[in-house]
Amino acid sequence: MEVYDRGGEIEIIGVSDFDIIKTFECGQCFRWRAGKDGVYTGVVRGRVARVRTSDGSVYISGSLKDFETIWRDYFDLDRDYADIRNKICVDDFIKQAIGHSAGLRILRQAAWEALCSFIISQCNNIPRIKKIIDVLCREFGDVLMFEDEMQYTFPSAEKIAALDKNDLAPLRCGYRAAYIINAAKAVANGTLDLSALAGGTPESARIALKTLHGVGDKVADCVMLYGLNMIDSFPLDVWMKRAVSMHYGPDFDPGIFNPYAGIAQQYIFHYMRKIVN
C-alpha cells in the first residue's frame, strides 16, 4: 500500500480489497451517504470525510495525520484481505460469495456507536435504520461544518444516558427507545465497559452484552464484529439463517471459517441480499 498527500486529499494505492460501495453498502454501517459521482460522506470519531475512487485509487479527504490517526485503523488497511479470502475459501458456496463480495472490508467502528446502531437495527430495514440514526445524530450530536454543510457527530453514551424515552420521541423508534437509554446508562456509568470487552474473549463479551435489555445473540455478535473488532464473530440474522439453511444445514459450525468467520459472514450476507434482490 502506498499513501500520498494530494493537498486536501490522501490517495491510497495498492490496496487490493477496498471497494467503497461494497464496504459502505453491505449492512455493517449506517452513516455513510452516497452523493454525486459515487462520492461518500461520513462522520467518524468526530471527523467528517469524503471518500471516492478514481483509476484504481481511493481518495480520502484530509491530511496524512488524519489518515494515520483515523482512517488506516478505521478501514482496517493493514489487514491482508486477499490472504483471508484464500484461507476461508473452503467450499463452493463461500467461493461464490467471495467472488461477488470481494472488496468489502470490516470497518473498525466505535463500540458505543455500534451497540446503539444495532439495537436500533432490530426488526428494521436498512433505510429505516439510517433514518432513525440520522435523527438521533441531528437531535443529540454535535454540529460539524464541512464544505458549508452541517454534519453531526454520533451522540455520546453520556449524553443519551441523561435523556428519557420521551426525549427520543423524534426518532420514532418505538420500543427500542427504552433499550437505547438502558444501554447508554450502562456504558456511561461503567457497568458495561466496552473497552475492557474489546480486550477480552468473545465469550465474555457476548455474556456481558446480553445482560442489556434488548440485546440478544444477533445484536451482541454484530457489536462484537463491528464495534469490538472480534472478527471471528458470526452474526445470524434472517439472511444468514437462510444462507445456512440452504447451503450448510442444521449442523453448520461457523468455526470452519475461523479465525475469520466474521469476514466470511459479511461476504455471505452481502451476497445473499444481492442474489435474492
- What 3-state DSSP class applies to 192? coil
Q: Please indicate, yes or no, if residue 234 is contained in any of the structural domains.
A: no
The domain that holds 216 is classified in CATH as 1.10.340.30
What is the reported pLDDT for 123?
Answer: 86
Q: How far apart are CA 197 and CA 189, in angstroms?
A: 15
Q: pLDDT tier at 261 (50, 70, 90 boundaries)?
A: very high
> Considering only CA atoms, which of 177, 200, 181 is closest in space to residue 189?
181
Residue 133 to residues 39, 105, 123, 145, Cα–Cα distance (Å): 20, 22, 15, 19
What is the reported pLDDT for 276?
Answer: 63
| Residue 116 structural domain | 111-226
Q: pLDDT tier at 277 (50, 70, 90 boundaries)?
A: low
37 and 127 in a single domain? The answer is: no
141 and 45 in a single domain? The answer is: no
117 and 186 in a single domain? The answer is: yes
In this prediction the pTM is 0.94
Q: Please indicate, yes or no, if residue 71 is contained in any of the structural domains.
A: yes
Q: Where are the beta strands (DSSP E) in the chain?
A: 2-5, 9-13, 33-34, 40-44, 47-54, 57-61, 143-146, 149-152
142 and 204 in a single domain? The answer is: yes
Cβ atoms of residues 212 and 186 within 8 Å: yes
Q: How far apart are CA 219 and CA 6, in angstroms?
A: 40
Cβ atoms of residues 231 and 262 within 8 Å: yes
121 and 179 in a single domain? The answer is: yes
CB under 8 Å, gap of 24 or more: what pairs does 162-167 form?
Answer: none
120 and 207 in a single domain? The answer is: yes
Q: How far apart are CA 180 and CA 264, in angstroms?
A: 29
* Total tally of structural domains belonging to the chain: 2
115 and 219 in a single domain? The answer is: yes
Last residue in a domain, options 78, 103, 119: 78
Torsion of the alpha carbons at 195, 199, 200 and 204, rounded to the nearest 10: 30
What is the reported pLDDT for 252?
Answer: 94
117 and 217 in a single domain? The answer is: yes
Per-residue pLDDT of 150-197, as tens digits, reads 999 999 999 999 999 999 999 999 999 999 999 999 999 999 999 999
53 and 133 in a single domain? The answer is: no
Q: In angstroms, how far is the first alpha carbon of the chain from the final one?
A: 34
